[in-house]
Structure 1
């Protein structure tokens, strides 16, 4: 019989953790800027990144931008929502703001979508809550993130989890659309009663 034990590995052993692009001061919007910037307001753990809403800007400083790519995971390190966002694909040249850590899987035993899912689940979220620093605006230090114990099931199991997550998201979207449709129908019925 196969051993179904799941191996635990510190996140930093399987993922390269990089800080977001170091803008000097506020991010200044430049409509014809050469890069788009993912900010916290553009990222949601369930819906992903709202690529249409990104601000364009110009690079500041000398650091070469770490361009986002498909398979990356963005982790919101500052604020009250320390969640991960999986980037299935990136439509253009974009970077993430300094409030994020850019996570790139460097171990082929881990699927990036699985990593993002696990970072948003209870065991990891509890770890972040207990490890957050700051009183008004909390943050997760890089060392804390890299020390997170990451369970690594086999790739088949990871893919099964990712498929379940995708199915649950689609079901939720369809349910929300059905609710909106029903509300519109009831509004039309109510308007018809008045006329």
Structure 2
């Protein structure tokens, strides 16, 4: 079954800051920005910029655990589920915030948005000559595949398994490169010793 996104999720924009967002060491509010969403669709809370207050609006709507944030500028539109945390979080204007309805799991929505086919569709929807911008009104028209909740859970679980497998494979490849470099250096050192020994 396909449904327009506006029928299964509400969408609101992030907060427009009038000035550059500067980190305050003891700031009690975390500002989630586009760069805080990793390639795996996770929010790196350790990187989130902290601020002491938000001048405009005076009472910003904070992010709730289970909401989905989506990058809305540039060529990549990565999505992530907001994790449970003790930190008060808000989203900057580089993000759109999606609150899914009971028919759709937040994790499934993030997975669907991050799917390469959906990403291609989002790029078509974006407008702007210099910096592409994905507008809320366009995103609301996106048609979402909506399986049963059980199937959504299975899809999310499989997606997480594949991401975990990819991380392991990437780590193994890195270890092999390190091993190869060590072997090269060992062989080079052995050759230097051989040359020095023959010349002495």
Q: TM-score, structure 1 length as denominator? A: 0.88
1:19 aligns with 2:13: yes
Task: Give the counterpart of 1:68 among 63, 69, 74.
Answer: 63
Q: Distance in 2 between matches of 1:24 and 1:123?
A: 35
Residue in structure 2 matched with residue 31 of structure 1 by the alignment:
25
SS of 1:48's equivalent?
A: coil
Which of residues 27, 49, 56 is equivalent to 2:50?
A: 56
Distance 2:11 2:39 in 1: 18
TM-superposed deviation, 1:83: 2.3
> Quick check: 1:128 aligned with 2:122?
yes
| Worse-superposed segment, 15-24 or 122-131 | 122-131
**2:181 matches 1:176:** no
Quick one: structure 1 residues 45 and 16, their matched pair in 2 at CA, closer, same or farther if it must change by over 3 Å? farther
In structure 2, the CA distance between the partners of 1:169 and 1:122, relative to structure 1 (3 Å rule), is closer
Show the 5 A alignment for 1:88-127: 88-90=83-85, 92-105=87-100, 107-127=101-121
Extract structure 1 runs of 4+ deviating beyond 4 A: none
Task: Provide the aligned C-alpha RMSD in A.
Answer: 1.7
Task: Provide closer, same or farther for how the CA distance between residues 138 and 102 of structure 1 changes in structure 2, counting only shifts above 3 A.
Answer: same
Residue-by-residue CA offset, 1:87-123 (whole Å, 9 max, x unaligned): 3434521211111001111x21101111011112244
- Offset at residue 45 of structure 1 (A): 4.1
Query: For residue 197 of structure 2, what is the aligned residue in structure 1?
Result: none
**What is the aligned residue count?**
188
**Larger displacement relative to structure 2 (124-133 or 145-154):** 124-133
Residue deviations 1:38-78, cap 9 Å, x none?
Answer: 11222124151121112111212234222223211111111
Task: Report matched runs for 1:2-17 at 5 Å.
Answer: 6=1, 8-17=2-11
Measure, in 2, the Cα distance between the counterparts of 1:96 and 1:45. Answer: 18
User: Which of structures 1 and 2 has the bigger CA Rg?
Assistant: 2
Scaled by the length of structure 2, the TM-score of the pair is 0.86
User: Which consecutive residues of structure 1, in runs of 5 or more, have no partner in the other structure?
Assistant: 1-5
- In structure 2, the gaps of 5 or more residues are 191-200
Which deviates more from structure 2 when the two are superposed, residues 17-26 or residues 145-154? 17-26
